[in-house]
Amino acid sequence: MPDLPWWRAHRDALLALADQRTPRYVYHLDTVRDRARALQTHVRADRYLYAVKANGHPDVIGALAAEGLRPECVSWDEIAHVRALRPALDPAEILYTPNFAPRAEVARALAEGVRVTIDNASTLDAWADVWRGHDVFVRVDPGVGKGHHAHVRTAGTASKFGVDAADLGALAERARALDVRVVGLHAHVGSGVDETDTWGETARILAAHADAHFPDARVLDVGGGLPVPTGGAAPFDLAAAGRALAAFRTERPEFQVWVEPGRYLVADAGVLLARVTQVKRKGDVRYVGLDTGMNSLVRPALYGAHHDIVNLSRLGAEAEGVAEIVGPICETGDAFAHARPFPHAEEGDVVVIGTAGAYGAVMASSYNRRAPAEEVAM
């Protein structure tokens, strides 16, 4: 049976926070720490990174830093954010994996000693002056994307990410001509990947490319992508993923292996608190409206993502049929759940939306001029 979510034991504290203000993201730092420790217990890697794009709250970044995780960033502003929070951090501890970033941003990262990943082979020609003489990583497209939705599959020809395997030989030649040393290879196949052997498979693909083209590449970064089950599904078998990666490490001990999860570390640690504004019936359909919507949490609208939703004011109450759980944004797609079993609800009830600690606040907007949920850690 899946463990009960942390927020059930903190109902009174969450209701008190909701009394102060809604909508509100709440992050449980002990859960963040527990996930980081579980990762390092079950998956033996040479370096553990955290994909900052998942949740950039200062307390979350601080908690993961204290557990020994380094930052993986995808923009200069993420790099600047991390460095402002951790001014003593060596820039070389940051892995920067941009795609289609402007020349000036990449040049600045290299100049300041950040570890940079090449995502586009043609920039070695177009930006020769930027890359010349630097040690870099190369992001390789392993050929097949995986994940819970097409929008989060980050490999294959339909994906904008990474260098095609057919172009790696030419990239290696051009890199040598510019005195660019490829010291690591990187791949990330997608998010919410539930196959436990994905990291091991990815490592083998990268090792083969290192053997063929990049003799100095001793680091293989196999990305993140671990799933976060919802709706009462069984937990992901992290130990099995660790065993698959360990098998590769036994086969090829000459390589360092890095992992860089994001959502796995923080999703379950966060909830979105909202308050019921209105309940409407149209024919046989019941709509439960909340005081925030896709402006705070866009994942259901963007990905069709499932988030557990509970009436915290009536915790334990039986479902009163199904309901559409919707927000106040002027879009038909502004819905958190469709035909979801849900108890009686009235104006003022506090609702908790679970697994909201990743890709929630960081993807928020002020659409309709409605301010998104604020963030607080506990």
Least confident of 3-12, 260-269, 339-348: 3-12
CB atoms within 10 A of CB 25: 24
Superfamily of domain 267-377: Lyase, Ornithine Decarboxylase; Chain A, domain 1 (2.40.37.10)
What's residue 289's pLDDT? Answer: 99
Residue 233 has pLDDT above 90, yes or no: no
Percent over 70 (pLDDT), the chain: 94
Q: pTM of the entire structure?
A: 0.93
Least confident of 129-133, 199-203, 370-374: 199-203
Q: Under 8 Å CB-to-CB from 354, ≥6 apart: which residues?
A: 5, 7, 230, 268, 271, 307, 308, 309, 310
The pLDDT tens digits for 300-326 are 999 899 999 999 999 999 999 999 999
Active-site annotation, residues: 330
Q: Which letter does DSSP use for residue 163 in this model?
A: B
Residue 17, CA atoms < 13 Å, CB-side half-sphere: 24
Which tokens is 250 given?
């036994």
Look up the CATH number of domain 30-266. Answer: 3.20.20.10
Residue 152 has pLDDT above 50, yes or no: no
Domain span(s) for CATH 2.40.37.10 in the chain: 267-377
Tell me the β-bridge partners of 96. 73, 116
The pLDDT tens digits for 54-72 are 999 999 999 999 999 999 9
Quote the distance between the C-alpha of residue 355 and its chain's center: 12
Mean pLDDT over residues 355-373, rounded? 98
What's residue 231's pLDDT? Answer: 77
pLDDT band at residue 240 using 50, 70 and 90 as cut-offs: very high
Do 187 and 206 touch, CB atoms closer than 8 A?
yes
Mean pLDDT over residues 34-56, rounded? 97
Residue 148 has pLDDT above 60, yes or no: no
Domain span(s) for CATH 3.20.20.10 in the chain: 30-266
